[in-house]
């Protein structure tokens, strides 16, 4: 059974798309990790949450005060706030006004 040119073209396209996306993802991830590592070397700390993720964590803490994990979540939240207030460079896109508006829990 012979493969038609259109089937061969689709196979080549599929392989190229798969390897192209996989390579792009790998390169992007490695660049992000290099950036984090450089920040850790310079300032020994790096922010662990994006603005949205930290807001979501705060909302969860406030909505679940009796959850057994709320203490650990509060520690993580406060640690991120401390890092944001004590470092000059941030991994995630934080504005100065966003950082100033944060409060420890």
Query: pLDDT tens-digit profile of 42-54?
Result: 888 988 899 999 9
Same domain, 78 and 61: yes
The predicted model scores a pTM of 0.73
**pLDDT average, residue stretch 5-25:** 95
Task: Please tell me the chain's helix, strand, coil percentages from 3-state DSSP, rounded to the nearest 5.
Answer: 70, 0, 30
What's the domain range around 77?
46-105
Same domain, 15 and 57: no
- What's residue 24's pLDDT? 97
Same domain, 55 and 100: yes
Q: How far is CA 77 from CA 31, 89, 99, in A?
A: 26, 18, 13
- What's residue 2's pLDDT? 84
């Amino acid at each position: 059974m012979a493969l038609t040119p259109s089937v061969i073209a689709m196979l080549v396209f599929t392989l190229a798309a798969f390897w192209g996306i996989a390579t792009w993802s790998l390169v992007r991830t490695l660049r992000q990790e290099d950036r984090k590592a450089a920040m850790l070397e310079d300032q020994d700390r790096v922010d662990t949450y994006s603005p949205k993720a930290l807001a979501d964590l705060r909302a969860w803490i406030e909505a679940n005060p009796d959850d057994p994990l709320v203490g650990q979540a509060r520690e993580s939240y406060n640690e991120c706030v401390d890092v944001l207030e004590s470092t000059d460079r941030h991994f995630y896109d934080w504005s100065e006004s966003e950082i100033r508006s944060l409060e420890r829990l």
